[in-house]
């Protein structure tokens, strides 16, 4: 059905139950959805599950999409939110990954040379764009439509479409530049066009169509859970947009007091929102505040940068880690208060020190750094060039399932592995590998249970599958000793 528009196909499916129409939509857009999902999660099997979930959501929402919906952009944004739901469901908060970024050290010349630097940042950059800018980029470069086709899809003139695309690319360029990647606008456009969409696995479209047409009735439990989480995030995003839009209207009418009341009816503090991002941190008034957690665990989030930080649903150890600006291990001479907290520390200067003072005031706790001799594991390279540990140029993701004996990552530094090992084994890990840069790794072992972890199995798997050895030792290690104020 090459001459039938996306919306017409969707209407045929909704009104007439045309499975052929929906299958045509899947064939038309599955590469876009799969590629966006793969960039987020880094593992093909997970990207396939996200792709399936996105098209189930499309089938369920077919009746509610407006006739002027740009389906490519809607699918792209739904994929991003579904992947976000997947990542939050799969990882515990303490395994949150560091923001992936690449420093540009060589002058870029071609789309191929700049893509490895853009790929880890692209979807975050796209999320920062406004709806119309994102539609323009998806249509022009992800789907490689000409300006006339972009204009028709967005119901604007071709000149307006050209201006919209130019402005959107410039916004992307500024985002990348702030993160140390300095491509030209032409290089960005070329890199996205050449690399952002790749072919989905053979047979995936047929499998996705079958599950989506049934609106998820035959989907696995994990996929249904993913769909539920994604729909929740989508609903929250819509509510948040409506609140902001309502506030703008009220401000325009001069009813500032009413606007503030509406916002405060939803959040006592403007920064205390589920899944905060850098924009929330940047827009919050300067302060140091600690509050009891407001939301359930599924709404947790953490952002930090430039000496400022914000967390939703954090443990007290997280507050201490930020306040004392340390990666050192912590030793507690007193029992910590139980519970979770929302906190923000975003003063122009001295946020960490001010948070120390607030922790002392609220909880009576102080910390001091000390070298303590203790048992450790020293991580070394025993066998170089083992298949399970490969160098990587593209920042990626981490997949952890320690209860079933699996650690898998793409484009991560060795520090990500040592962080996991330290949590899993419960003793400090000293990195003596000398390995720098980023790596892909996949290690599996036979685990036992949460009370009796298979330490020997993990050590042997690291040795056999990644060539890395954990050697027991005893040495002084920097600790943050946390104690009650005397």
User: Rounded to an integer, what distance in angstroms lies between the CA atom of residue 320 and that of residue 327?
Assistant: 10
Farthest CA pair distance, the chain: 78
> Could you tell me which residues come within 8 angstroms of residue 288 by beta carbon, excluding any fewer than 6 positions away?
344, 345, 346, 347, 351, 354, 355, 357, 358
Strands 389-392, 288-292: parallel, antiparallel or unpaired by DSSP?
Answer: unpaired
Provide the pLDDT confidence category of residue 259 given band limits of 50, 70 and 90: very low
Highest mean pLDDT among 10-14, 422-426, 463-467: 463-467
Residue 96 has pLDDT above 70, yes or no: no
Residue 397 has pLDDT above 70, yes or no: no
Provide the pLDDT confidence category of residue 425 given band limits of 50, 70 and 90: confident
Buried/exposed code over 437-469 (b: 16+ C-beta within 10 A; e: otherwise): ebbbbbbbbebeeeeebebeebbebbbebbbbb
Reported as type and span, the H/E element at residue 431 is strand 429-431
Provide the pLDDT confidence category of residue 235 given band limits of 50, 70 and 90: low
Give the pLDDT mean for 182-211: 76
- Please give the pLDDT value at position 378: 94
User: Rounded to an integer, what distance in angstroms lies between the CA atom of residue 410 and that of residue 189?
Assistant: 25
> In a 10 Å sphere around its CB, with 0-12 CB exposed, 13-18 middle and 19+ buried, how is residue 256 labelled?
exposed
Of 11-25, 360-374, 440-454, the range with the lowest mean pLDDT is: 440-454
Give the pLDDT mean for 434-440: 86
For the chain, percent of residues with pLDDT exceeding 70: 79
pTM: 0.41
- Please give the pLDDT value at position 247: 45
Provide the pLDDT confidence category of residue 1 given band limits of 50, 70 and 90: low
- Please give the pLDDT value at position 306: 81
Give the pLDDT mean for 111-128: 76
For the chain, percent of residues with pLDDT exceeding 90: 12
- Please give the pLDDT value at position 244: 45
Residue 206 has pLDDT above 80, yes or no: no
User: Rounded to an integer, what distance in angstroms lies between the CA atom of residue 212 and that of residue 53?
Assistant: 8
Give the pLDDT mean for 166-191: 83
**Do the Cβ atoms of 145 and 153 come closer than 8 Å?**
yes
- Please give the pLDDT value at position 262: 36
φ/ψ of residue 242, rounded to 5: -65, -40
Residue 169 has pLDDT above 80, yes or no: yes
Helix, strand or coil for residue 456?
Answer: helix
Choice between 216 and 384, residue whose per-residue pLDDT is larger:
384
Kindly state the tokens that stand for 294: 């407001």
**Do the Cβ atoms of 355 and 322 come closer than 8 Å?**
yes
> In a 10 Å sphere around its CB, with 0-12 CB exposed, 13-18 middle and 19+ buried, how is residue 405 labelled?
middle
- Please give the pLDDT value at position 252: 46
Give the pLDDT mean for 341-348: 92
Residue 98 has pLDDT above 80, yes or no: no
Provide the pLDDT confidence category of residue 75 given band limits of 50, 70 and 90: very high
Residue 92 has pLDDT above 80, yes or no: no
Average pLDDT in the chain: 78
Of 76-80, 203-207, 283-287, 426-430, the range with the lowest mean pLDDT is: 203-207
Residue 245 has pLDDT above 50, yes or no: no
Q: How many CA atoms lie within 13 A of 121 on its CB side?
A: 24
**Do the Cβ atoms of 263 and 251 come closer than 8 Å?**
no
- Please give the pLDDT value at position 289: 93
Provide the pLDDT confidence category of residue 105 given band limits of 50, 70 and 90: very low
- Please give the pLDDT value at position 87: 72
Give the pLDDT mean for 146-165: 86
- Per DSSP, helices labelled H in 253-268 are 256-266
- Please give the pLDDT value at position 454: 78
- Please give the pLDDT value at position 108: 38
- Please give the pLDDT value at position 394: 61
Cβ atoms within 10 Å, residue 112 = 12
Three-point CA angle 289, 290, 293, nearest 5°: 130
Helix, strand or coil for residue 333?
Answer: coil
Residue 266 has pLDDT above 50, yes or no: no
Of 72-81, 216-225, 317-326, 434-443, the range with the lowest mean pLDDT is: 216-225
Choice between 226 and 263, residue whose per-residue pLDDT is larger:
226
Given the structure tokens 């960005």, which residue do they identify? Answer: 188
- Please give the pLDDT value at position 175: 85
Residue 360 has pLDDT above 90, yes or no: yes
Highest mean pLDDT among 231-245, 413-427, 439-453: 413-427
Rg from Cα positions in the chain:
25
- Please give the pLDDT value at position 225: 73
């Amino acid at each position: 059905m090459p001459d039938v528009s996306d919306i017409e196909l969707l209407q045929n499916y909704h009104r007439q139950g045309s499975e052929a129409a929906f299958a045509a939509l899947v064939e038309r857009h599955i590469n876009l959805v799969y590629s966006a999902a793969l960039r987020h999660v880094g593992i093909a099997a997970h990207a396939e599950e996200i792709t399936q979930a996105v098209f189930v959501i499309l089938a369920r929402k077919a009746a509610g999409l407006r006739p002027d919906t740009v389906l490519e952009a809607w699918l792209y944004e739904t994929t991003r939110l579904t992947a976000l739901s997947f990542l939050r469901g799969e990882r515990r908060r303490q395994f949150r990954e560091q923001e992936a970024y690449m420093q540009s050290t060589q002058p870029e010349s071609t789309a191929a040379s700049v893509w490895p630097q853009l790929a880890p940042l692209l979807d975050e950059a796209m999320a920062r764009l406004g709806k119309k800018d994102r539609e323009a980029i998806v249509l022009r470069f992800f789907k490689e439509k000409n300006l006339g086709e972009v204009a028709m899809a967005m119901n604007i003139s071709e000149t307006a479409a050209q201006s919209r695309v130019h402005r959107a690319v410039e916004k992307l360029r500024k985002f990348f530049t702030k993160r140390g990647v300095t491509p030209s606008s032409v290089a960005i456009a070329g890199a996205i066009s050449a690399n952002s969409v790749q072919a989905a696995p053979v047979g995936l479209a047929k499998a996705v169509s079958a599950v989506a047409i049934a609106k998820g009735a035959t989907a696995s439990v994990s996929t249904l859970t993913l769909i539920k989480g994604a729909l929740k995030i989508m609903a929250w995003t819509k509510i948040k947009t409506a609140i902001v839009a309502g506030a703008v209207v009220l401000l325009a009418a001069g009813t500032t007091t009413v606007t503030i009341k509406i916002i405060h009816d939803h959040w006592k503090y403007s920064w205390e929102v589920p899944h905060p991002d850098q924009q929330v941190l940047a827009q919050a008034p300067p302060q140091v505040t600690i509050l009891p957690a407001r939301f359930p665990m599924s709404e947790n989030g953490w952002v930090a940068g430039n000496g400022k930080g914000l967390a939703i649903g954090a443990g007290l150890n997280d507050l201490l880690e930020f306040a004392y600006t340390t990666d050192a291990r912590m030793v507690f001479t007193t029992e910590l208060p139980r519970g979770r907290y929302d906190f923000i520390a975003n003063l122009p200067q001295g946020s960490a020190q001010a948070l120390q003072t607030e922790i002392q005031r609220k909880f009576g706790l102080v910390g001091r750094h000390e070298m303590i001799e203790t048992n450790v594991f020293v991580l070394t390279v025993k066998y170089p060039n083992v298949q399970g540990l490969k160098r990587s140029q593209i920042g990626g993701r981490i997949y952890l399932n320690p209860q079933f004996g699996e650690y898998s990552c793409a484009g991560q530094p060795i520090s990500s592995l040592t962080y996991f090992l330290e949590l899993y084994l419960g003793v400090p890990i000293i990195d003596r590998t000398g390995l720098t840069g980023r790596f892909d790794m996949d290690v599996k072992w036979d685990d036992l249970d949460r009370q009796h972890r298979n330490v020997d199995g993990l050590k042997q798997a690291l040795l056999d599958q990644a060539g890395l050895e954990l050697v027991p030792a005893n040495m002084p290690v920097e600790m943050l000793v946390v104690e009650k104020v005397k």
